[in-house]
Amino acid sequence: MERQTSQPIGTPLEFCLRQRAAGSAQQAAVTDVILALCDAAQSIARLLAKGPLGGSLGAETGQDNSDGDSQKALDVLANDHVVRVLEPAPVRYLASEEEDAILTLREDAPLAVAVDPLDGSSNIDVNVSVGTIFSVYTASKEGASASFFRPGSEQIAAGYFVYGPHTALMLTTGDGVDLFVLDPDYRTFRLAQPALVIVPSTSEFAINASNYRHWLEPVRTFIDDCLEGVDGPRGKDFNMRWVASLVAETHRIFSRGGVFLYPADMREAYANGRLRLIYEAAPIAMLVEQAGGLAIDGTRRILDRIPTELHQRTPLIFGSSEKVARIQNYHTDPGYSRGQSPLFRTRGLFNA
């Protein structure tokens, strides 16, 4: 994915964005939003860097968020930072995992922003990477809901901050994906790697294997086939990772490929998986596709899905294109099913 012009490594984010936005009012507004989110990310990174010295950021607040997940102290603080920085930004509507309803910030502003302020919050107290995910649309004339209840393919920008050993921003404005890193010496995000590409094929998968007994047949068969390694139908060994932090898994897939699965399963509460369509799956899917990967819910492209509820969940499978296409086959092609025993031992013939 080659961009026409690209700035040298180390260029400050603001310079990169302002140069790209030249002459476009919409891109200028997007730039303002991204820079505002960078301010929130720096505040969140500072809070995280204090660890237990900042109080128990991973403690339950005793409240559930809009979707029934328990809220941690840092979920609330991160949301406060995001709302504060976006209030003066060109944002008409803000949808957040931590808010029951869509907030109207500025009636005359052109953009709508969806945010998961603190993704992976079960990792806060164990000093493992967490993140902030965001998605930007034009605000719809038809109002708040219409601004978000639309296909993810209409996003005009998406990204995430990952708070790890360093703080990084993975960003797309619809023209490839760039990685920016927060330079602690200058307190500014600087270009670290332009035009990222997710390798099409690898031997690594990420899934919460403790849910094995709940999985539906296509996912169970795919994982069984991977686990059988060189002795199974895939004829090679696989490696597994599970950080339990969507941004961290995404970051790994950007750096060395692989697939991530949080599928639907047989439990009532997981009939649509766990992750949220508007502020988790859609922005990750835009980033992944912009880097040459794929993102599906099992059978359908995530970016074609039209949400009908603000906090709607979706199964999410994304990563290296050949691997995701293969998993889609497990969902749609009976030849990949364990029930079809004559084909079972020959599935290796279909290897990508």
Residue 201: which of 107, 324, 110 has the closest Cα? 324
The one among 6, 208, 272, 312 contacting ligand FDP by CB under 6 A: 208
Nearer to ligand FDP, 139 or 310 (CB): 310
Q: Count residues contacting ligand FDP (CB under 6 A)?
A: 12
263 lies in the site for ligand FDP, by CB under 6 A: no
Q: What is d(CA 261, CA 250) in angstroms, rounded to the nearest whole number?
A: 11
31 lies in the site for ligand FDP, by CB under 6 A: no
Residue 116 CB, nearest approach to ligand FDP (Å): 7
The β-bridge partners of 96 are 115
- Give strand ranges (E) for 15-110: 60-64, 70-72, 91-96, 103-104
Residue 8: CB atoms within 10 A of its CB come to: 8
Nearer to ligand FDP, 318 or 336 (CB): 318
120 lies in the site for ligand FDP, by CB under 6 A: yes
Residue 291 CB, nearest approach to ligand FDP (Å): 19
Q: What is d(CA 273, CA 292) in angstroms, rounded to the nearest whole number?
A: 24
Residue 46 CB, nearest approach to ligand FDP (Å): 20
Residue 264: which of 308, 311, 207, 332 has the closest Cα? 207
Residue 68 CB, nearest approach to ligand FDP (Å): 11
Query: How many contiguous H segments (helices) and E segments (strands) does the chain have?
Result: 9, 17
7 lies in the site for ligand FDP, by CB under 6 A: no
- Identify the residue whose tokens are 């970051």: 251
275 lies in the site for ligand FDP, by CB under 6 A: yes
The footprint of ligand FDP on residues 64-93 (CB under 6 A) is 69
Q: DSSP code of 24?
A: -
122 lies in the site for ligand FDP, by CB under 6 A: yes
Find the part of the chain contacting ligand FDP (CB under 6 A) among 118-126, 176-184, 218-226, 293-301: 118-126
The footprint of ligand FDP on residues 211-230 (CB under 6 A) is none
Tokens of 247: 């941004």
Sort strands 157-163 and 91-96 into parallel, antiparallel or unpaired: unpaired
Single-letter amino acid code for the residue at 238: F
Nearer to ligand FDP, 53 or 126 (CB): 126
Q: What is d(CA 332, CA 342) in angstroms, rounded to the nearest whole number?
A: 17
Find the part of the chain contacting ligand FDP (CB under 6 A) among 38-46, 115-123, 175-183, 287-295: 115-123
First to last CA, the chain: 22
The one among 65, 245, 290, 321 contacting ligand FDP by CB under 6 A: 245
272 lies in the site for ligand FDP, by CB under 6 A: no
119 lies in the site for ligand FDP, by CB under 6 A: yes
121 lies in the site for ligand FDP, by CB under 6 A: yes
Residue 231 CB, nearest approach to ligand FDP (Å): 28
Binding mask 276-305 for ligand FDP (x = CB under 6 A): ----x-------------------------
Asked if 33 and 89 touch (Cβ cutoff 8 Å), the reply is yes
Q: What is the DSSP string of 133-185?
A: EEEEEEPPTT-HHHHHSS-GGG-SEEEEEEESSSEEEEEESSS-EEEEEEETT
> Given the rule CB under 6 A, which residues bind ligand FDP?
69, 119-122, 208, 244-246, 274-275, 280
